[in-house]
Every structure is written in structure tokens, then in C-alpha cells.
């Protein structure tokens, strides 16, 4: 004959532990969703990078250089300049937020490094080299954004 002794006090502890486990799972799921939402912006900023390359070619392109036109004198439209400035601010804020999750941190560091280095190089080079620097800088950032898109895709599946 087997006698089992059941403690009445252990039942609330089991219920509490089960609730705690479900709460931890909910936090993990919410954190995972937050990360996915954060990385969902990668295609948007990929399109922004491509748009920046088009704008750079338009204002700093070979035709402009051949004409001897200073692109600072051309000026952007007010709406385009405001949109570009706001997109750049959002881009930098997004890159800073990418440093929080553990996966994709290397790409975020590279995006920040390449952007900072490109800015420093562009400040010191002549007008003819700005387009070349912008093109290389944009190509590297596009590559980092594509790897971020792939990482987000892998995390989903």
C-alpha cells in the first residue's frame, strides 16, 4: 500500500509558478515582437538609401561636375530638404535603437561607423570626390541593411 501525502500549501505555490512561467513567456514574446517591429524598418531605410543615391547623382553627378555647377547653389526644394532631414534623424535614431537587441548589433555598429566615417571624409575632400565617397558609403550601408533584412527574416522563420 502506497501512501501519498499531499501538502495543501503546495497547491498555491504550483499555481503561482505556473502564472510566473506564463508571464515570463509573455514577456519573451513581447520582446521578440518588439525586436521584429524594430527590424521591420530595415526595408524602409533600404529604400531611403537608394533614394539618397539618386539624389546624390542628381545634385553631384558627373553632368553637374562637367558643367562646373556648385550643388550648394542649386538648393533642394523646401519639402525635399525637410523630408530628407527628418528621414536622416529617424535613420540615426533607428541605428541607435538597433544597438539594444543582441542579434544585428554588428550591423548597427557598422552602419554607425560607416556613416560617421563617410561624413568625416566628405567634410575634408573636394567636390569631385564627394559623389564617389557617397556611392561607396551608400553601397556599404545598403549591404548592412540587406543583412539586417535577412536576419529579421530568419528570426521570423
6-49 pLDDT tens trace: 555 566 656 655 665 666 565 565 666 666 767 778 888 889 88
pTM comes to 0.69
**Percent of the chain scored above 70 by pLDDT?**
67
For the chain, how far is it from start to end, CA to CA, in angstroms?
Answer: 52
Number of independent structural domains in the chain: 1
52 lies in a domain?
Answer: yes
119 lies in a domain?
Answer: yes
12 lies in a domain?
Answer: no
Rounded to whole angstroms, how far apart are CA atoms 109 and 114? 9
136 lies in a domain?
Answer: yes
13 lies in a domain?
Answer: no
98 lies in a domain?
Answer: yes
Structural domain harbouring 123: 38-156
Amino acid at each position: 500500500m502506497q501512501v501519498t501525502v499531499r501538502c495543501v500549501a503546495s497547491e498555491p505555490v504550483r499555481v503561482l509558478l505556473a502564472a510566473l512561467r506564463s508571464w515570463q513567456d509573455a514577456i519573451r514574446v513581447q520582446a521578440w515582437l518588439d525586436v521584429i517591429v524594430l527590424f521591420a524598418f530595415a526595408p524602409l531605410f533600404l529604400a531611403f538609401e537608394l533614394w539618397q543615391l539618386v539624389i546624390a547623382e542628381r545634385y553631384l553627378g558627373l553632368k553637374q561636375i562637367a558643367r562646373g555647377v556648385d550643388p550648394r547653389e542649386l538648393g533642394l526644394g523646401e519639402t525635399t530638404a525637410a523630408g530628407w532631414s527628418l528621414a536622416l534623424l529617424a535613420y540615426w535614431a533607428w541605428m541607435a535603437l538597433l544597438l539594444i537587441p543582441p542579434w544585428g548589433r554588428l550591423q548597427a555598429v557598422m552602419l554607425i561607423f560607416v556613416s560617421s566615417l563617410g561624413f568625416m571624409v566628405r567634410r575634408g575632400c573636394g567636390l569631385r570626390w564627394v559623389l564617389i565617397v557617397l556611392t561607396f558609403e551608400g553601397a556599404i550601408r545598403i549591404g548592412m541593411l540587406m543583412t539586417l533584412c535577412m536576419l529579421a527574416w530568419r528570426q521570423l522563420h
